[in-house]
Amino acid sequence: MTSLSNKLAVITGSNSGIGLGVAEVLAAAGANIVLNSFTDRDEDHALAADLAKRHGVKVRYIAADMSKGDDCRQLIAKAGDVDILVNNAGIQHVAAIEEFPAAKWDAIIAINLTSSFHTIAAALPGMRKRGWGRIVNIASAHGLTASPFKSAYVSAKHGVVGLTKTVGLETAEVNITCNAICPGYVLTPLIDSQIPDTMKKYNMTREQVIRDVLLERQPSKEFATIEQIGGTAVFLCSPAADQITGTTISLDGGWTAL
C-alpha cells in the first residue's frame, strides 16, 4: 500500500460522507489529516480524535466556511505545510432554471467551485517551495455531462474540471499534480435518507428506487463507494500516478461512456 507517512492532507467538507471517507483512507495510508466543515462542535473535534487514535496519525479539525474566500485561505494557513489538498466541500439544490433561487446559485458556485480556487491558490506556494504536492478535486459525473434541474451543480462541477486542467498545466514541471475524481451516484447517508420518500412517491420497493431511479443512468447499476473514491485519491498521491495530471478519473459505472 502507498505510504503517505509525514504528509499532511487537508480535506474540505470532511466531517461526514465522501470527505470523511477520503480522510479515513488517507489516514490509513499514514497521512496526517486536517478535517473541515463550517460547524465547530464538540463532535467535530471528537471525530478528529477518533481518527487519530485508530490510525496512529495526527488529526485536527479546523472550522471554515467554504462559501467565504477568506475562510478558505485561512484554512490552508492554519493547517500548515499542506502536501495533499482534497477539495470535496459541496452542496446541491434541484430546480428548473427559471425557478432556481439566485441565492442558491451563488452558494453552490461559491462552495462547489470558488472554494477550490481559493484553497489551491493558498496551498500552491508551499507545495512549490517543498517541491511536491498533490491536489485532488472531487468533481462528479456532472462535471462531464449534464442532467436537468441541476444548473448550478452542473456548472460548478464543469468548472472544477476546467480548473483542474489549468492547474495541472501550470504545475506540470514542478512535481505537483492536480486531478479530478468524477463519481457517479454514491450511497452517502444523505442519498440513503431520500430513498424512503422516493419509495412512497413512486410506489416502489427500495431495490426498485435504487435501480430504476437513482441508478437509471449508471450502467453498472451499482453505487460508487466512498472507499473507492478514497482509494483513488491515495492512488493519485502515489508514485504510480506521478505522470497523471490535469485530467479526470470517472468512478461512474460507465455513465459517461454512454
pLDDT tens-digit readout, 35-60: 999 999 999 999 999 999 999 999 99
Q: Residue 144 has which C-alpha cell?
A: 462531464
Model pLDDT, residue 2: 80
Positions marked active-site: 153
Give 151's contacts (C-beta < 8 A, 6+ positions apart). Answer: 97, 100, 105
Q: Residue 123: which of 85, 88, 161 has the closest Cα?
A: 85
pLDDT band at 193 (very low <50, low <70, confident <90, very high): confident
C-alpha 199/C-alpha 245 separation (Å) is 41
**Mean pLDDT computed over 10-36:** 97
Model pLDDT, residue 190: 78
Report residue 89: phi and psi, to 5°. -55, 135
Domains annotated on the chain, with CATH: 8-186+224-257 (3.40.50.720), 187-222 (no CATH)
Model pLDDT, residue 165: 98
Model pLDDT, residue 194: 83
Model pLDDT, residue 252: 97
C-alpha 7/C-alpha 31 separation (Å) is 5
Q: Residue 140 has which C-alpha cell?
A: 462528479
Q: What is the pLDDT of residues 226-238, one digit of tens each?
A: 999 999 999 999 9
DSSP 21-39: HHHHHHHHTT-EEEEEES-
Q: What is the pLDDT of residues 73-93, one digit of tens each?
A: 999 999 999 999 999 999 999
Please report which residue ranges of the chain form alpha helices under DSSP H: 17-28, 42-55, 69-79, 102-109, 115-130, 151-170, 189-202, 206-208, 226-236
Name the percent of the chain lying above pLDDT 90: 95
pLDDT band at 1 (very low <50, low <70, confident <90, very high): low
C-alpha 219/C-alpha 232 separation (Å) is 20
The DSSP call for residue 214 is I
Q: With 90 as the cut, is the pLDDT of residue 109 above it?
A: yes
Q: What is the pLDDT of residues 121-166, one digit of tens each?
A: 999 999 999 999 999 999 999 999 999 999 999 999 999 999 999 9
101 φ/ψ sector (left φ>0, alpha ψ -120 to 50, else beta):
beta
The whole-chain average pLDDT of the chain stands at: 97
**Mean pLDDT computed over 200-213:** 94
C-alpha 121/C-alpha 117 separation (Å) is 6
Query: pTM of the predicted model, to two decimals?
Result: 0.96
